[in-house]
Every structure is written in structure tokens, then in C-alpha cells.
Amino acid sequence: MVAILSLGACKDSQAVDSKKLAEEMNEPKSDLTKERDEKFLVQAVEINQEQIMLAKLAQQRSGSEEVKTYARMVEESHRNANSNLTSFAIRKTIAIPGTTTQKVMDEYNKLNESSVTDFDKEYCKMIIDSHKEAINTFESYTNGKSDPDIQSWARTMLQELRDHHSKAMEMDAHLSPLSEVIHE
């Protein structure tokens, strides 16, 4: 009986996205501020997971030392952020995704399918877009009624996200002339 439940649990865990599971565990709530905090932490964990996964892939596949250095910095920053988020989640009794979400895996697979010559440019594009989206998420959260501890952390992280975005834009500008010369 245990083996069947175990196998069934494995099958179900593959079909259920960890983000969706965390969101379901956090519902229903009567406190709108707590609900806002819960949604933010779930989104922030997914943002960090994506940055970590894409950065690891860039360190493996990139042909540019600049991209690899940037990816190492991003991975470390987002690992630290996820550690902080996990602490908040435990202290505030908020469920967060414990495994890589489906959205993150889709983005990882999409980038991994890039050709060797297009990889760095695709990575930059994805990082720029995802950091822009992350900045919007964090700005929205910090401009509303929220848990003061989480909100303070989010404000600090917002500056890091802006720095990552700026550096990614600079890196993309450096890579653009290179890719044009290679393709000509």
C-alpha cells in the first residue's frame, strides 16, 4: 500500500507545478495583506529559481567570459535572495515552491535549445526581459500595504534587480557588435 501511494505521489508531483501547489496551500485567507505577501513570496521564489537556472546554463554553454562572469554573479545573488525568502516563508508561515516551477523549466528548455552562436544573445534577451518583469513585480509589491519585514527586504532586492538589469543591457550592447560581425 505504501509503494502504491509513493508511486502515485511521484506521478502526482510531476503533474502538479510546485508554484500552483504553494498558491493552493496559501488559500483561503481573510487577511488581504497576508494574501498579498503570500503571492509576492511565491512570485519572488519563482523569479529567483529562473535566474539561478538560466545562470547555471549560461555558465555551462556561453562562449563569452563576460556572460559567464555575469551569470555567476546573478546566480549567487539570487541564491542569497532565495535563502532570505525561505527564512521569511518559515517565519511568516507562508508556503513557497519547493521545487523548480514549470514556467522556470519551460524558460530553461527554451534557452537550452538555442544554437551555440545564438546562445549569448538569447540569454541576454531573456535576462533583460525577466529582470524588467521582476522589477515591476517588486515595485508593485513595495508600493502597497505589506508585511514590513518582507517589504524592507524587497526594497533592498529591488536595487539589486535594477543593477542586474543595467549590467545585462550593457552586456547585450557589447555582444551585439560581435554577433553582427560573426553573422556577416
CA pair distance 80, 65, nearest whole angstrom:
23
Lowest mean pLDDT among 28-32, 89-93, 118-122, 150-154: 28-32
Stated length of the chain: 184
Over the chain, what is the mean pLDDT? 85
What's the confidence (pLDDT) of residue 16? 64
Q: What is the mean pLDDT of the segment spanning 15-25? A: 69
> Going from the N-terminus, what domains does the chain have, and what CATH number goes with each?
18-183 (1.20.1260.10)
Q: Report residue 8's pLDDT band, with 50, 70 and 90 as the boundaries.
A: very low
CA pair distance 19, 14, nearest whole angstrom:
12
Q: Report residue 32's pLDDT band, with 50, 70 and 90 as the boundaries.
A: low
What's the confidence (pLDDT) of residue 33? 65
DSSP 33-100: HHHHHHHHHHHHHHHHHHHHHHHHHHHHH-S-HHHHHHHHHHHHHHHHHHHHHHHHHHHHT----SS-
First vs last Cα of the chain: how many Å apart? 64
**14 pLDDT exceeds 60?**
no
What's the confidence (pLDDT) of residue 10? 40
**pTM score, two decimals?**
0.79
pLDDT tens per residue across span 157-184: 999 999 999 999 999 998 876 444 444 4
Percent of the chain whose pLDDT exceeds 70: 82
